Amino acid sequence: MHWFLFMFYALFAAGGALAVVFSQNIVRMAFYLVISLGATAALFFLLDADFVGATQLLIYVGGTVVLLIFGVMLTSSSPFSSIKNTPAELLQGGIVGLTFLTLLISTALSVNWSQSPEMVGGTQLARVEEGFNPRQEGNTSRSIGTALLGLRFDRDLAGQTVAAPVHEHPATAAQGEQTLSVAPAERLSTGYLLPFEIISMHLLVVLIGASYLARAKRSRTASPV
């Protein structure tokens, strides 16, 4: 069942992406992009990454694509504007696309997939249950939230209860220092509070700058509208 769902959504994600590339009509492209992004969100849900999936839906599908269509509606001169590519553009796009494709393929091939469960288990250290509900009911966002606030319960509280079993694993032992050196309660992990704040300040600056640039330039003597 899980396999079937994965294949189903993966097919839609890949097919939608291909349709974006081969479609000529901008708004149709946006629609195919919605399919592709929505299927990707579904893949996130399948991986128990509820928060990421929901964010993908809210920001990309509900926000960005709507803005994209909105922009097309505001600016296009003909009813259904389409894109005609010159051969030079095709060549440029093809080169860039192929470069990224080779990068992705080489990355995918360089991972040892047969050991991935152990590696995932090793890097996650331990799963400290936070919050009220079991994980099967979607208790997956709390660790993200606390990490963004600067608290890493999964690292700081993990050592006491789960330290010994984690060390037994070859994959974890191979990783060496990073996992072993974090002694519980001696040194607290910092989480992502600083990057989070930097990004939000950055976005605020961008927002103010954009509104300043977009404001209509009027001379002071002109009558207020």
Partner 1 sequence: MISPVLAKTLSDGLNESTDSLHGSGLVEWILQAFPLLGTGGALLLAAVIHTALVGLFFGLPAFIFIWAERKVAGRIQDRLGPTRTGGRFGWLQSLADGVKLIQKEDLAPEAADHLLFRVSPYIVVVAAFSAFIFVPFSDGWTAVSMDIGLFVALAVLSLEVLGIVLAGYSSASKWSLFGGMREAAQMVSYEVPLGLTAVIPVVIAGTMNLNDIVSMQSGGFWNWFLLHDPFAFCAFFLFFTVTLASNKRAPFDLAEAESELVGGFHTEYSGMRWSFFFLAEYAAMFFVSMLAVLLFLGGWWTGLPVLDQALVALPGGAGAWGYLSRVIAMVILLSKTGLLVFVQIWIRWTLPRLRIDQVMTTCLKYLVPISCFLFLGVVTWPLILLSTIQSSTLWGAPLGERVPASTRPVEMEQQTHPLNERSGSTGHSKMETETVTPLVANSGTLHRTGGER
Residues at the site binding partner 1, with contacts judged by CB under 8 A? 1-3, 5, 25, 27-28, 31, 34, 45-48, 50-51, 53-55, 57-58, 61-63, 65-67, 69-70, 72-74, 79-80, 116-118, 120-122, 124, 126-127, 129-142, 162, 165-166, 169, 171-172
Q: How far apart are CA 222 and CA 117, in angstroms?
A: 68
Min dist CB 53 to partner 1, Å, is: 8
| Closer to partner 1 by Cβ: residue 88 or 113 | 113
Nearest approach, Cβ of residue 136 and partner 1 (Å): 4
Neighbours of 37 (CB within 10 A): 22
In the bound state with partner 1, the residue whose beta carbon lies nearer, of 1 and 222, is 1
Burial 99-113 (b: 16+ CB within 10 A, else e): eeeeeeeeeeeeeee
Of 81 and 92, nearer to partner 1 (C-beta) is 81
Q: Which residues contact 158 (CB under 8 A, 6 or more apart)?
A: 125, 126, 128, 166, 184
**φ/ψ of residue 25, rounded to 5:** -90, 130
In the complex, the smallest distance separating the C-beta of residue 101 from partner 1, rounded to whole angstroms, is: 26
Residue nearer to partner 1 on the CB measure, 42 or 191: 42
Least distance CB 88 / partner 1 (angstroms): 29
Cα of first residue to Cα of last residue in the chain, in angstroms, is 62
How near is the Cβ of 188 to partner 1 at its closest, in Å?
20
DSSP state at residue 222: S
Please report where in the chains the tokens 């990355």 appear, as a residue: 107
